[in-house]
A and B are shown apart, each in its own frame.
Chain A
Amino acid sequence: MGKTLFDKIWDSHVITDLGNGFVLLHIDRLLLHDMSGGKALKEAIEKGYPPSQPRLIYGTPDHTMSTKPGRTEHTHPPGLPLIKSMRETTSAYGIKLFDLGQDGQGIVHVMGPEQGLTLPGTTLVCGDSHTSTHGGLGALAFGIGSSELVHVIATQTMVQRKPKRMRASFEGKLLPGVTAKDMILHLIGELGTAAGTGYSVEYAGSGVRALPAEARLTLCNLTIEMGARTGMVAPDDTTYEYLDGRDYAPKGAMWDRAVAHWRTLPSDPDAEFDREHTIDMKNVAPQITWGTSPEHVIAVDRAIPDPGKGPEEKRGAWEAALKYQGLEPGKPIEGTKVDWVFIGSCTNSRISDLRAAAEIVKGRHKADHVTAWVVPGSVRIKAEAEAEGLDRVFTEAGFEWREPGCSMCLASNGERVPPGQRSVSTSNRNFVGRQGPGARTHLASPAMAAAAAIKGAIADVRKM
Chain B
Amino acid sequence: MDKFTKVTGVAAPLMRQNVDTDLIIRIERLVDNVTREGLGPYAFEQIRFKPDGSEDPDCIFNQTPYRDAPIILSRENFGCGSSREGAVWALKGMGIKAVIAPYFGDIFNNNCFQNGLLPVALPIHEIEQLADEMKASPGNARVTVDLENCQVISPTGRTIPFQVDARRQHAMLNGLDDIALTMSRRDEIEAWQTSDKSARPWIWL
Interfacial residues, chain A to chain B (CB-CB below 8 A): 15-16, 18-22, 24, 26, 28, 35-36, 47, 49, 53, 55-56, 63-64, 78-79, 81-82, 119, 121-122, 127-129, 131, 143-148, 150-151, 154-157, 159, 161, 193-194, 197-198, 224, 227-229, 248, 250, 254-255, 257-258, 261, 293, 313-314, 316-317, 320, 410-414, 419, 429, 431-434, 437-438
6 more contacts with CB within 8 A, not counting A147-B178, A148-B111, A431-B22, are: A28-B203, A156-B189, A227-B77, A227-B106, A412-B31, A437-B51
Residues of chain B with a CB closer than 8 A to A81's CB:
33
Q: Is B64 in contact with chain A by the CB < 8 A criterion? A: no
Instruction: Sample 16 A-B pairs with CB under 8 A, ordered by A number.
Output: A18-B167, A22-B165, A24-B189, A63-B31, A78-B28, A145-B108, A148-B110, A193-B80, A194-B76, A197-B77, A228-B106, A254-B205, A258-B202, A429-B82, A431-B22, A433-B26
Residues of chain B with a CB closer than 8 A to A433's CB:
22-23, 26, 46
Please tell me if the beta carbons of B31 and A82 are within 8 angstroms of each other in the complex: yes
Please tell me if the beta carbons of A250 and B105 are within 8 angstroms of each other in the complex: no
Q: Is B62 in contact with chain A by the CB < 8 A criterion? A: no
Please tell me if the beta carbons of A20 and B77 are within 8 angstroms of each other in the complex: no
Q: Is B160 in contact with chain A by the CB < 8 A criterion? A: no
Interface string of B100-128 (1 = CB under 8 A from A): 00010111101100110000000000000
B contact face: mostly helix, strand, loop, or mixed: helix
In the bound complex, how far is the Cα of B197 from the Cα of A346, in angstroms?
A: 31
CB distance from A96 to the nearest CB of B (A): 12
Please tell me if the beta carbons of A194 and B182 are within 8 angstroms of each other in the complex: no
In the bound complex, how far is the Cα of B200 from the Cα of A98, in angstroms?
A: 25
Please tell me if the beta carbons of B179 and A15 are within 8 angstroms of each other in the complex: no
Residue among B31, B114, B189, B193 making CB contact with A145, cutoff 8 Å: B114
Residues of chain A with a CB closer than 8 A to B174's CB:
none
Residues of chain B with a CB closer than 8 A to A150's CB:
179
Residues of chain B with a CB closer than 8 A to A47's CB:
179
Residues of chain B with a CB closer than 8 A to A151's CB:
178-179, 182
Residue among B26, B31, B110, B192 making CB contact with A26, cutoff 8 Å: B192
Interface string of B47-90 (1 = CB under 8 A from A): 00001000000000000000000000000110011111110100
Residue among B16, B27, B192 making CB contact with A15, cutoff 8 Å: B192
Please tell me if the beta carbons of A143 and B107 are within 8 angstroms of each other in the complex: yes
Given contacts A79-B31, A159-B178, contact A22 B167 (CB under 8 A): yes
Residues of chain B with a CB closer than 8 A to A144's CB:
83, 107, 110
Q: Is B173 in contact with chain A by the CB < 8 A criterion? A: no
Residues of chain B with a CB closer than 8 A to A53's CB:
193
Q: Is B8 in contact with chain A by the CB < 8 A criterion? A: no
Please tell me if the beta carbons of B17 and A317 are within 8 angstroms of each other in the complex: yes
Residues of chain A with a CB closer than 8 A to B2's CB:
none
